[in-house]
Amino acid sequence: MFIGHYAPALIAAACPKAPRLGALFVAAQLVDFAFFGFVALGIEHARLVPGFTVMNALDLYDMRYTHSLAGTLLFALGWLAIARLAGSAWVTAMIGAAVVASHWFLDLLVHAPDLTIAGSGSRYGFALWNHPMIEMPLEIALTAAALGFYLVRTRPHGRAGILAPSILATALAFVQVINWAEPQPDRVIDPAPLAQSLLALAVFTALALLAAWTGRSRIPRLGPRLRTL
């Protein structure tokens, strides 16, 4: 799951009390921000194994802190605490925390069994990455439906209100297609290349910035935003 992670962010952003869309894009990928940062620092580990799944070579064998259910929920709690300290209303902070937590459940659909409940023991994952004819339409449909919902529930604020979401949608489609088209390596690469982690962090950041621009250019139809993150 890549751009599909942004579906909960787009749906939540239609709520006037939600954090801004840029913040929600960070929330949706918060544990992957941490994961690729931890991999770069050698705290968590991944390697590339040709054919590990049909769709990619990611052998995510050590994600104990970021992608255990307990770890993800701790990230969500951390979001809640920081948002409250920053002055967000409870409901705003909780919407953001729920989007952080959604990451683990969407990963559960696609990952090979590599997700844990508390960092060790049984591993879970329904491995849709082995079924591209299911995974690809599902991810596209999920993201497109969420973006459509967001656009219907908000209205443009000036010309940017049309331009920004158009560029965001194009960027989401572009990075997903590049991600799917990336050829598998012909040998095991252990650890996964540092450049891959840095690229992932750069792409997540760029998408969050585009989402922030989009969020500023759209106004919820239900009324003024209340507290924002």
Q: Which residues bind Zn ion (CB under 5 A)?
A: 32, 107
Cα distance between residue 18 and residue 211, in whole Å = 14
Whole-number minimum distance, CB 18 to Zn ion, in Å? 22
Whole-number minimum distance, CB 103 to Zn ion, in Å? 6
Nearer to Zn ion, 107 or 139 (CB): 107
Whole-number minimum distance, CB 153 to Zn ion, in Å? 27
User: Residue 223, CB half-sphere, CA atoms under 13 Å: how many?
Assistant: 5
Return the closest-CA partner of residue 149 out of 57, 221, 45: 221
Nearer to Zn ion, 24 or 164 (CB): 24
CB 1 within 8 A of CB 139: yes
Whole-number minimum distance, CB 34 to Zn ion, in Å? 9
Nearer to Zn ion, 32 or 164 (CB): 32
Nearer to Zn ion, 107 or 135 (CB): 107
Whole-number minimum distance, CB 184 to Zn ion, in Å? 19
Kindly report whether the peptide bond that precedes residue 185 is cis, defined as omega within 30 degrees of 0.
no
Nearer to Zn ion, 75 or 213 (CB): 75
What are the C-alpha distances in Å from 159 to residues 130, 156, 164, 218?
Answer: 42, 7, 9, 10
| Tokens coding 18 | 């939600």
